[in-house]
Amino acid sequence: MSTYSDASRTEDTANGTTDETILEITDLEKHYVKSAGWIQSLFTDDKRVRAVDGISLSIDKGEIFSVVGESGCGKTTLGKTLLRINEPTGGSIRFKGKDLATLSRSEMQQLRQQMQIVYQDPFEALNPKRTIYGLLKQPLEIHGINTPSEQRARIEQALTDVNLLPVNDFLDRYPEELSGGQLQRVLFARALVLNPEFIVADEPSSMLDASVRARVLDLIDELRHERNISFFIITHDIGAARYLSDRIGVMYLGRIVEMGDADHLIDDPKHPYSRALIESIPSPDPTEPLETAGIGSEVPEPVDLPSGCRFHPRCPLATEHCKSVGPEWRTVPSEDETTRWTECHEVEPVHRP
Ligand SMILES: Nc1ncnc2c1ncn2[C@@H]1O[C@H](COP(=O)(O)OP(=O)(O)O)[C@@H](O)[C@H]1O
Ligand SMILES: [Mg+2]
């Protein structure tokens, strides 16, 4: 259901930047240091976990971009790092043309209102001791919006936008009195009170059963159309990603290995990892490994990454070349008119001497 045809994008960089770009990341990196522990540290150095390892992409105003991949491949880290909730260890982030690294604390705080995150688990993210009104008032107070009438108006509007109606029935209730689907809506309302232009949603439908899940996906689509909000959706659910997104990025061990128009990428995946992922059977729990078709469910840790292409140990197409040389991020021919990016030597092989 792509409303933003890739053919209309006039991309001018490897990030796919257009005039309508809201967010652009370039070579973004988030490496964690995994301490070896003091006894082990006598024999080995601390290890670097390359959770996000050089990602470039851009997202348009009003676009829904989803990132898919197995548990542990770095999706949540990417979502938090591109909002600068996690401090990047490399690369740059531009939001509406502004380089986030150059902003002062107060400028960053101001901009935060426009870029929000909706976390995966409403039971964890919502303080059970606060009423819905109290929970929605909190972000307003943090951002200095303290006039009671304005608070009330924003909270009522946000609850209306997420369809928790009549609003008065919800204001004084506590999280434990609401269903999982309603709590997920409260999480969205808590982001919406700040009038954001960009929302990262981490596994927005994973904790919900099928019918509620479909309604939450429809809510995201409505928010995009009615408020022109751009979304970066993190999901292990390929069906949800296809249903919602304009474009999809497939993530493997800290890298996006393929990116393109949602429908075309899922109908005709080019990268062998995308193919395996799309043929896999997802479990409703995002922390459970996928039964990834033909390549096993064992995802290597993003420490001690394989040489060459990091997917080569699991890849059915790997050659000797793949073991020693990492593939480049490049566009590959696609039968449709959309732009497909991938990094794989074996997709439309480039002539090698
Ligand atoms: N705070 C942290 N410190 C060290 N390693 C982390 C931290 N957060 C995540 N990781 C590691 O980074 C990798 C990616 O994790 P994550 O972003 O949660 O993946 P996903 O959301 O795709 O499941 C994993 O190997 C995870 O163990
Ligand atoms: Mg995650």
Q: In this predicted model, what pLDDT tens digit does every residue of 95-129 receive, in sequence order?
A: 999 999 999 989 999 999 999 999 988 788 899 99
Q: What are the residues facing 234 on neighbouring strands? A: 67, 202
How many other CB atoms sit within 10 Å of the CB of residue 163? Answer: 14
Atom of ligand 1 nearest to the CA of 71: 23
Q: Distance between CA atoms of 223 and 35, rounded to whole angstroms? A: 42
Q: Whose CA is nearest to atom 6 of ligand 1?
A: 32
Q: How far is the CA of 202 from the centre of ligand 2 (A)?
A: 7
Atom of ligand 1 nearest to the CA of 80: 17
Domain extents for the chain? 20-114+196-342, 128-195
pLDDT digits (tens, 9 = 90+) for 144-186: 999 999 999 999 999 999 999 999 999 999 999 999 899 999 9
Q: Which ligand is nearest to the CA of 75?
A: 1
Q: How far apart are the first and last CA of the chain?
A: 42
In the CATH scheme, what is the code of domain 20-114+196-342? 3.40.50.300
Q: Distance between CA atoms of 184 and 177, rounded to whole angstroms? A: 13
pLDDT digits (tens, 9 = 90+) for 233-259: 999 889 899 999 999 999 999 999 999
Residue identified by tokens 């709590």 is 183
Q: Tell which one of 49, 76, 236, 251 to mutate to probe ligand 1, the residue whose CB is within 8 A of the most ligand atoms.
A: 49
Residue 128 backbone phi and psi in degrees, to 5: -70, -15
Q: How far is the CA of 290 from the centre of ligand 1 (A)?
A: 17
Whole-number pLDDT of residue 1:
37
Q: How far is the CA of 2 from the centre of ligand 1 (A)?
A: 30
pTM: 0.90
Residue identified by tokens 């993210």 is 125
DSSP designation for 291? B
Whole-number pLDDT of residue 36:
64
pLDDT digits (tens, 9 = 90+) for 146-155: 999 999 999 9
Residue 173, CB-side half-sphere exposure with 13 Å CA sphere: 16
pLDDT digits (tens, 9 = 90+) for 288-327: 656 666 677 677 788 888 899 999 999 999 999 999 999 9
Q: What are the residues facing 252 on neighbouring strands? A: 255
Atom of ligand 1 nearest to the CA of 287: 23
Ligand 1 environment, Cβ below 6 A: 32, 34, 49, 51, 69, 71-77, 301-302
Q: Whose CA is nearest to atom 8 of ligand 1?
A: 77
The first and second tokens of residue 64, run together, are: 């829904």
pLDDT digits (tens, 9 = 90+) for 48-61: 899 999 999 999 99
27: left (phi over 0), alpha (psi -120 to 50) or beta: left
